[in-house]
Chains A and B, each alone.
Chain A
Amino acid sequence: QVQLQESGPGLVKPSETLSLTCTVSDASISSYYWNWIRQPPGKGLEWIGYIYYSGSTNYNPSLKSRVTISVDTSKNQFSLKLSSVTAADTAVYYCARSPWGIVVDYWGQGTLVTVSS
């Protein structure tokens, strides 16, 4: 059973960079697509982007200028950086696996990141 666990600060100041890491257990990161998806409190889901284990990426055009997703196969981890955050970036951030790109079959439990001074 694939397990994913998000980690990182729960509070980020406006204009700073949000950084999260997802650790994958019981599966090799060296295949599949690895996604980040977020959900503002009480609202719907927003796809942020994905990385293939080889390093190729695909980002949501609305966030592309601020997003970087990277992978560390030696640690079985992938990471998200979102720059110049505002209160609108406050959300539960999920890391997730996709067999084909964007359709997710395994999710992390999610981590709430609040943007506030």
Chain B
Amino acid sequence: DIQMTQSPSTLSASVGDRVTITCRASQSISSWLAWYQQKPGKAPKLLIYKASSLQSGVSSRFSGSGSGTEFTLTISSLQPDDFATYYCQQYNSYSTFGQGTKVEIK
């Protein structure tokens, strides 16, 4: 099984901050990584696929990078609507998700 580890688990930030979330895979997954945003009581929303490809309709303040075992999701300027939980997902071998990173208001 490929394990996905996100850090930090919780992140406190202010509107306008640049935010970076890290996701590490237990073995190489090439660029087969996606990022999702989830708000309470709602289904997740796809932000990024193939490590760095922005999903259609998603704000360009979201960006993804990385390959192999280390990946990052960056929010360039945090907006009020961005306070949520973020998950990475590997799909190199079956699929596993990270445990989530909650972005909360500082």
Tell me the count of chain A residues lying within 8 A, CB to CB, of chain B.
19
Tell me the count of chain B residues lying within 8 A, CB to CB, of chain A.
19
Q: Which of A81-99 contact B (CB under 8 A)?
A: 94, 96
A103-B97 contact given A61-B1, A94-B43, A109-B43, CB 8 Å threshold: no
A104-B94 contact given A44-B100, A45-B87, A61-B1, CB 8 Å threshold: no
B20 touches A (CB below 8 Å) = no
CB of B46 within 8 A of CB of A44, answer no
CB of B97 within 8 A of CB of A47, answer yes
CB of B43 within 8 A of CB of A45, answer no
A44-B94 contact given A104-B44, A105-B46, CB 8 Å threshold: no
A103 to B87, CA, bound (A): 12
Q: Which of A60-91 contact B (CB under 8 A)?
A: 60-62
Residues of B within 8 A of A94 (CB): 43
From residue A83, how far is it (CB to closest CB) to chain B in Å?
20
CB of A46 within 8 A of CB of B97, answer yes
A7 touches B (CB below 8 Å) = no
From residue A92, how far is it (CB to closest CB) to chain B in Å?
9
Residues of A within 8 A of B91 (CB): 101-103
Most interface-central of B1, B89, B94, B97 (chain A CB within 10 A): B94
CB of A103 within 8 A of CB of B99, answer no
Set A58, A103, A109: member contacting B34, Cβ < 8 A: A103
Residues of B within 8 A of A96 (CB): 43
CB of B87 within 8 A of CB of A107, answer no
Question: What are 18 A-to-B residue pairs whose CB atoms are below 8 Å?
Answer: A44-B98, A45-B36, A45-B89, A46-B97, A47-B94, A47-B97, A58-B94, A61-B1, A102-B89, A102-B91, A103-B34, A103-B46, A103-B89, A107-B43, A107-B45, A108-B43, A109-B43, A110-B43
Give me the interface of A with B, judged by CB distance under 8 Å: 44-47, 58, 60-62, 94, 96, 101-105, 107-110
